Amino acid sequence: MSLQRLLSSVGPAVLSGVCAPGGTAVPVGDVVIAEPDGGFDLRPGDVVLGVNLTDREPALRLLSWCAERSAGALLLKAPVAVDETVVTAASAAGIPLVQVEQQAGWAQVVSLLRAVLDSEGYADSGSGTAGAEAGDLFGLADAIAAVIDAPVTIEDRSSRVLAYSARQERGDEARVATIMGRHVPDEVNAQFRQYGVFHRIAQDTGPIYVPAVVEGTKPRLVVPVHAGGDVLGSIWAIVPGPVPPERAAAFADTAATAALHLLRRRAGADVERLVLTDLVATVLHGQEGAADAARRLGLTTGPWRVIAVGVRCPDDEEAERQRLTVWERMSRFRGSRLRSPAAIVGGVVYGIVPAERVGPDADDGPGWVETLRGTTGKPAPLIAIGGLAASVPGLARSREQADDTLDLLRTGLIAREQAVHDEVWATVVLRHVARSAAAARIAGVGPLQQLVDHDRAHGTNCVPTLYAWLQERGDPRAAAARLHIHPNTLRHRIRRLQEVVALPLDDPEVRTALLLQLTARQYGGAEGGPDDAVGTSG
């Protein structure tokens, strides 16, 4: 594993880079705790933890020891981690220096780092650490339930249930639905959000009492689970009413233990997601090694289609939550055993799905699409489905088609929330023509711009009239019907626009050139947008 991946997997709530003279792409080995006398076993690439070092001189001696043995990185806490002399020495020695946040315990850091390094075997073994951690979490949930004397769930920051305790029969219908669906029902979550529960989880560290805000539910006591400034999740206990302060305090104390488990679990999941993202991106972009990546993803027998999902949310944090929710749902569609290789690449959630499941001829394509559309609330995500890929090399093309289709949905050229490339290919072609025309600046060539300027100055309809006439190959009745006007009005407009600018419309090359220019303006190739450039009304 590289130092870069190690840092990104653990996250800035625990580790942050101070200096990396040779970059962070360097490979790292085991985790080693430094001994005060320097008599510890250290191999090249090992990550060294300067536990309890608070003075400059011991830190410099440890740094020198690490440099002599080509350590992979040195981890320190402030103030020595940011001491100017130490940072300068680390830079000169070529040793990456990483700061450990003050709130993170050293035992926690060791456990977390080793969990991340151990999980690197995921790509080869086909399984990650999440399953191993799940058993520990269920045991922890039972232990927490004994502390608070109530059934509990441990949830991540997106309200997904990670584990739950025994005695859930003491809960309510919402808790049953939560456990069955492994996610808090949307309508219940909306009530909690309106009550301000999630805002308090993000801000507070103590227990939060939530009365029965939803009809048919019981009160809850919630403990946020934080690590540094990062919200990892929360613990929810169903209680009969307000809890005595001493018991609530004991319940709150369990968050520290839960934080360690959630950090380890998230680190493993992040590594799995990074590996999976690399594999999926390799296949979808047709990069070198795509065949091997497809084999490791289990893509053995086609045909397939690529799904591209774009979320629509102005808030960055909420958009990320929605993408993760879509990714999880796509990885395993509810009510189905099918698992789809899925990844978030460039802000878009991609999935590779057997063709019989999605597309115009799919057995249950609408059901799958509706499953995805219901993942994020309002506004619903935009779902684009690429063309058929009969083989692994064809997946790159299907991804391009899904991207093109998603572009149409985002720009509103197709006024829908979902589309299949097979059904909108003509619009895709016109969109590409518009972009090519814009790059070549053909919209401003010839007399067309004079008509555009005349319409803007005098409020006339020369451009839409000409566009409709060309689309209908000079048929005045059909063109008039397209503009919702009388054919005689259409003929009058054609005569008037030729008084504005001379257009030899009997010349087929002129007609073709004008239609190309107007199509480019209609599909986004002109300044001001398609409506301003062409228009459609009479």
The beta-carbon contacts of 472-481 under 8 Å, at least 24 apart in sequence, are 474/505
Q: What is the CATH number of domain 130-264?
A: 3.30.450.40
Identify the residue whose tokens are 């130092």: 3
Tell me the pLDDT band of 13, cut-offs 50, 70 and 90: low
Higher pLDDT, 265 or 381: 381
% of the chain beyond a pLDDT of 70: 83
Give which of 263, 385, 392, 284 is closest to 343, Cα–Cα: 284
**pLDDT given for residue 365 in this prediction:** 47
Whole-angstrom distance, CA of residue 35 vs CA of residue 479: 86
Asked if the model's pLDDT at residue 488 lies above 90, the reply is yes
**pLDDT given for residue 131 in this prediction:** 37
* Residue extents of the structural domains in the chain: 3-102, 130-264, 285-424, 441-533
CATH class of 285-424: alpha beta
pLDDT per position as a tens digit, 189-210: 888 888 889 989 988 889 999 9
pLDDT per position as a tens digit, 94-149: 999 999 888 677 766 776 676 567 554 333 333 333 333 444 788 888 889 989 99
Whole-angstrom distance, CA of residue 162 vs CA of residue 155: 5
Average pLDDT over residues 322-331: 77
Higher pLDDT, 27 or 179: 27
Asked if the model's pLDDT at residue 364 lies above 60, the reply is no
% of the chain beyond a pLDDT of 90: 32
Average pLDDT over residues 338-344: 74
**pLDDT given for residue 372 in this prediction:** 65
- Topology (CATH) of 3-102: 3.40.1390
Asked if the model's pLDDT at residue 473 lies above 90, the reply is no
Whole-angstrom distance, CA of residue 511 vs CA of residue 519: 12
In order of 464, 501, 520, the CA distances from 531 in angstroms are 10, 22, 12
Instruction: Determine which of 133-147, 326-340, 504-518 has the lowest per-residue pLDDT on average.
Output: 326-340
- DSSP state for residue 120 in the 8-state scheme: G
Whole-angstrom distance, CA of residue 222 vs CA of residue 243: 11
Tell me the pLDDT band of 538, cut-offs 50, 70 and 90: low
The beta-carbon contacts of 320-329 under 8 Å, at least 24 apart in sequence, are 321/157, 321/158, 322/375, 322/376, 322/381, 323/347, 323/349, 324/158, 325/158, 325/375, 325/376, 326/372, 326/375, 326/376, 326/381, 328/160, 329/371, 329/372, 329/375
- Neighbouring CB atoms inside 10 A of 310's CB total 19
Asked if the model's pLDDT at residue 337 lies above 70, the reply is no
Average pLDDT over residues 48-73: 90
Beta strand residue intervals within 311-356, DSSP E: 342-345, 348-354
Identify the residue whose tokens are 């919630």: 222
**Alpha-carbon dihedral sign for residues 30, 35, 41, 42:** positive
**pLDDT given for residue 133 in this prediction:** 43
Higher pLDDT, 378 or 252: 252
Contact between 239 and 221 under an 8 Å Cβ cutoff? The reply is yes
Asked if the model's pLDDT at residue 260 lies above 90, the reply is no
The neighbouring-strand residues paired with 420 are 385
Q: Which of 19-28, 180-189, 389-398, 421-430 tops mean pLDDT?
A: 389-398
pLDDT per position as a tens digit, 148-171: 999 999 998 888 888 888 888 788
Beta-carbon contacts of 333 under 8 Å, excluding residues fewer than 6 positions away, are: 340, 368, 371
Beta strand residue intervals within 11-104, DSSP E: 15-19, 31-33, 47-49, 73-77, 97-100
Whole-angstrom distance, CA of residue 207 vs CA of residue 147: 14
Beta-carbon contacts of 140 under 8 Å, excluding residues fewer than 6 positions away, are: 154, 163, 254, 257, 258, 261
**pLDDT given for residue 359 in this prediction:** 67
Average pLDDT over residues 435-464: 85
Contact between 72 and 26 under an 8 Å Cβ cutoff? The reply is yes
Chain mean pLDDT for the chain: 81
Instruction: Determine which of 157-161, 240-244, 255-259 has the lowest per-residue pLDDT on average.
Output: 157-161
Asked if the model's pLDDT at residue 533 lies above 90, the reply is no
Phi, psi (degrees; rounded to nearest 5) at 208? -120, 120
Tokens of 358: 């999605």
pTM for the full predicted model: 0.51
